[in-house]
Amino acid sequence: EDKVVQSPLSLVVHEGDTVTLNCSYEVTNFRSLLWYKQEKKAPTFLFMLTSSGIEKKSGRLSSILDKKELFSILNITATQTGDSAIYLCAVALYAGNMLTFGGGTRLMVKP
């Protein structure tokens, strides 16, 4: 059975801290890994990773994929209160475009 596991389950930090969120997966026919941010309701797309070792960056957020060890990390530097959200990792398989999601990491950034 395909499995995506995120850690930690939740995290509380102060503004300015750097955080690292983890996502490991065990799936057949892996195609890509995606990160989403879920604030109030709708998950919003952050990154899609398909190749190992290539870092994707968007402002203070960055992510990298290791296809050999089957994991990805999402880094957020200089955290702000607006980064408070649930961060979801999902895997897309070779066939089709439906996503298998991990349970999410709930991040709270305190002022």
Partner 1 sequence: DSGVTQTPKHLITATGQRVTLRCSPRSGDLSVYWYQQSLDQGLQFLIQYYNGEERAKGNILERFSAQQFPDLHSELNLSSLELGDSALYFCASSVVGATNEKLFFGSGTQLSVL
Residues that bind partner 1 (CB under 8 A): 31-32, 34, 36, 40-45, 48, 50, 88, 90, 92-104
Backbone phi, psi, residue 110, to 5°: -95, 145
Tokens (6 digits) for 51: 């190749």
Backbone phi, psi, residue 82, to 5°: -70, -10
Q: In angstroms, what is the minimal distance from the CB of 86 to partner 1?
A: 10
Compute how many other C-beta atoms are within 10 angstroms of the C-beta atom of residue 18.
Answer: 11
Q: In angstroms, what is the minimal distance from the CB of 44 to partner 1?
A: 7
| Tokens 């490991």, residue located | 24
* Complex with partner 1: residue 40 or 68, whichever CB lies closer: 40
* Complex with partner 1: residue 63 or 104, whichever CB lies closer: 104
